[in-house]
Amino acid sequence: MSAESIRVTFPSGKTLDVERGIPAVEAARAGGQPAKKAIAARCDGRLVDLNHPLSADCHLSLVQERDPEAIEIFRHSTSHVMAQAVQELFPETKIAQGPATDDGFYYDFRREQPFTDADLSKIEERMREIVARALPIERHEVPRDRALEIFEGEGEPYKVHFVREKSGPIASYYQQGEFRDFCLGPHLPSTAHIGAFKLLQVAAAYWLGSEKNETLWRIYGTAYPKKKDLDAHLQRLEEAKKRDHRRLGKDLDLFSLHENVGGGLVFWHPKGATVRHELETMLREQLNRRNYVFVLSPHVARDTLFRTSGHYDFYRENMYTLDIDEEEFVIKPMNCPGHTQIYKTGLKSYRDLPVRMAEFGTVYRYERSGTMHGLFRVRGFTQDDAHIFCRPDQLLDEIDDCLGLVQEVFSFFGFEQVRYELSVRDSTDRGKYAGSDEEWEASENALVAALEKRGLAYERYEGEAVFYGPKIDVKVVDAIGRPWQLSTIQFDFNLPERFELSYVDQDGTHKPPYMVHRAIFGSFERFFGILIEHFAGAFPVWLAPVQARILPVSEKVLAYAEEVESRLRKAGLRSELDRRSDKVGAKIRDAELQKIPYMLIVGPREAESGSVSLRIHQRGDEGSLSVEDFIERARTAMATRALEA
């Protein structure tokens, strides 16, 4: 092997000596790797361009268009094509940033006039022209000062900002035709490799996400290697629009938000409050079975509570504060500091542990106005919070029980796909974490053991733990395939130390308990929004605000319909009577639109026989049955929390 050669190792284990500086794709071809559908390469695990020059011994593989990493590269490259199209059509436009996202991409632009739908059509058409030009997408590496000179010369202030903030001594930018942008890459080899794409919408966005900065215009789009994948995604988006919890919340009279009162503050209407009550009841049942104790903590506390916890230093900008009698008070942004105060009242013995403390606690956090979104991101919300104080030897059982609770609760909602993510500390930088090595190892081992005990597959994320402990995050996949982050099981070595929590162990010494933060829903508001979209507003019987509506065919049977309603209410069913003089077909259509599970049609025949004609939402007629038989059927669905009526 000469001084000008390097050794490349391929996934098969095969090695090959190649000339230093050879492009990755050429080395891969020489090593027998299929390169026809490759779009990038992995060099020692790092994603690089196909033409990346190899400068040292390395492990090399190619990224094929079907690989998980490929979609982000397709989308990022498509975003550059979009930015190029915008500047060709609207030369006065300045470019900010344009990352790929989980389901597409966007770019922020500065322009006096917002982009219109007609503009989006023009931009899409120009993008197709750029793709047809088959422009090479080339990486350039220059000294940082040279990159600043280039973008200052082009009058691109945002690019200058990013070079200054994110570049090292050498800056990289990508160029296709006359367009270039500061970027780390990698990218597709040329615009000809761009697949199917669609521009979706325009929205206002603050520069760097701060309301103090100027407003830019953000164009959202999405891209896939194949048109069939794009079509499937667009179909999912259309379905998501139909399920949008903001629209359904209004149509079904579930909740409202009022800007004149304050953004991000939710008003639960009677029907929405009914659903919430059922969620709370179900969760209380589960927690009572597991020996949780329910507590309540104040909504306002002196700032010293949150200074001691450390939240004041880390989250001050998200807190609401008040000055009372020349003292600063904080409107509660989280429940955990309050729970430590309850724990501290009275000496705890090792026999008293574990203490499982639960609270449906309402908290308030400042969110920028541009970030709020229906029920998904609000300023006031109620967490289904719990904190477990336990001994080290109890840790595994407590985590196992939390996972069992997650599984049992989610089974009531039909979440068939549940994903688990384990976040641990960065082993190369242990100094930034609270707690000893022994505590971290014990807690991480407990999380892993609990997951493996239940046979739960999980993804491990190094360096993703917060400074005060490792955690398990749980994601569910809804009815149309979207993942949602919900539950968290989080260790905390920080608060027991800060608040000097302890228990008396068997040997008579005082020891700090382990503290576990646990939430299942996360918040009732966000979880309710997810449920609305998961069920498309058609809640199962046990959750439905109105479980049955009686539909008399005429006023002649109104007295019998009233008798049926009375019997249903006495049986504990949430029912209502449609007293309108409309034809029964119109009443059925309205009940269907309101997504009521049971429709009970009553006419002279039903009145005479003491029966009802049952209709199920979206399923149609189920035939005639006695009122008692219907009540039994409905109560069984309620008691078992069945998903089907």
Instruction: Give the residue numbers annotated as catalytic, written as ranges.
Output: 336, 365, 383, 385, 387, 471, 517
Q: What is the DSSP letter of 323?
A: E
Rg (CA), the chain: 30
Give the angle 72-156-152 at the CA atoms, nearest 5°. 125
Asked if 106 and 98 touch (Cβ cutoff 8 Å), the reply is yes
Interatomic CA distance for residues 37 and 33, integer angstroms: 11
Q: How many CB atoms lie within 10 A of CB 102?
A: 9
> Do β-strands 355-364 and 293-294 pair in parallel, antiparallel, or remain unpaired?
parallel
Interatomic CA distance for residues 451 and 412, integer angstroms: 21
Asked if 515 and 535 touch (Cβ cutoff 8 Å), the reply is no
For residue 10, what are its two tokens?
A: 């391929």
Distances (CA, A) of 391 to 340, 397, 514: 16, 11, 6
- The residues with which 64 forms a beta bridge, in sequence order, are 38
Asked if 121 and 127 touch (Cβ cutoff 8 Å), the reply is no
Interatomic CA distance for residues 160 and 168, integer angstroms: 13
Asked if 492 and 361 touch (Cβ cutoff 8 Å), the reply is no
Q: What is the DSSP letter of 558?
A: H
Q: What is the DSSP letter of 512?
A: P
Q: 23 in helix, strand or coil? A: strand
Interatomic CA distance for residues 194 and 185, integer angstroms: 15
Interatomic CA distance for residues 369 and 378, integer angstroms: 9
At a CB cut-off of 8 Å and minimum separation 6, what does 390 contact?
A: 353, 354, 355, 398, 513, 514, 516
Q: 569 in helix, strand or coil? A: helix
